[in-house]
Amino acid sequence: MQTLYDVLVSDLALLDAVLPVGPPPHFLSLVPANLDLADTWRRIAGKIGLEGLLKAALAPVVGSFSYIVLDCPPSLDMTTMNALVAASEVIVPVDMSVFSVRGMVKLMGTMEEVRKVNSSLQPPHV
Confidence of residue 125 (pLDDT cuts 50, 70, 90): low
Q: How far apart are CA 72 and CA 84, in angstroms?
A: 10
- Percentage, residues of the chain above pLDDT 90: 67
pLDDT, tens digit, for every residue of 65-99?
999 999 998 888 999 999 999 999 999 888 889 98
Dump the DSSP string for 87-101.
-S-------SSHHHH
Whole-number pLDDT of residue 63: 92
